[in-house]
Amino acid sequence: MENELLYEMQNAFPMTERPFKAVAEKLNTTEEEVLSTVQKLKDEKIIRQTSAIFDTKRLGYKSSLVAFKVAEDQVEKAAEIINRHPGVSHNYLRNHDYNIWFTMAVAPDSQLGLEKTIEILKEQTGAEDAITLPTLKMFKISVKMDTTGKRAKKEKVKKTAHKEIELTPKHIAVIKELQKDIAVVSEPYKEATEKLGMDYNEFFEIANELKESGVMRRFATILNHRKAGFGANAMSVWAVPEEKGEEIGRQMAEFSAVSHCYLRPSYPNWPYNLFAMVHAKTQEECDTLIEEMAQETGLKEYGKLYSTVEFKKQRLVYFDEVFKEWEAAV
C-alpha closest to that of 55 among 146, 179, 199, 174: 179
- Angstrom distance (rounded) from CA 196 to CA 169: 11
If 0-12 CB within 10 Å is exposed, 13-18 middle and 19+ buried, where does residue 31 land? middle
The answer to whether the beta carbons of residues 135 and 277 sit under 8 Å apart is no
d(CA 220, CA 240) in angstroms, rounded, equals: 33
- For 213, 245, 315, the CA distances from 207, given in Å and listed in that order, are 10, 34, 18
Residues 6+ apart with CB under 8 A from 156: 254
Which of 85, 90, 162, 225 is catalytic? The answer is: 90
User: Alpha-carbon torsion 43, 46, 50, 52, what sign?
Assistant: positive
Indicate the residue type of 7: Y
Is 260 an annotated catalytic residue?
A: no
Angle CA 108–109–110, to nearest 5: 95
- Residue 180, C-beta contacts closer than 8 angstroms, at least 6 positions apart: 51, 192
φ and ψ at residue 50, rounded to 5 degrees: -125, 110
Check the CA dihedral 67-80-59-160 and report its sign. positive
The residues that are catalytic are 90
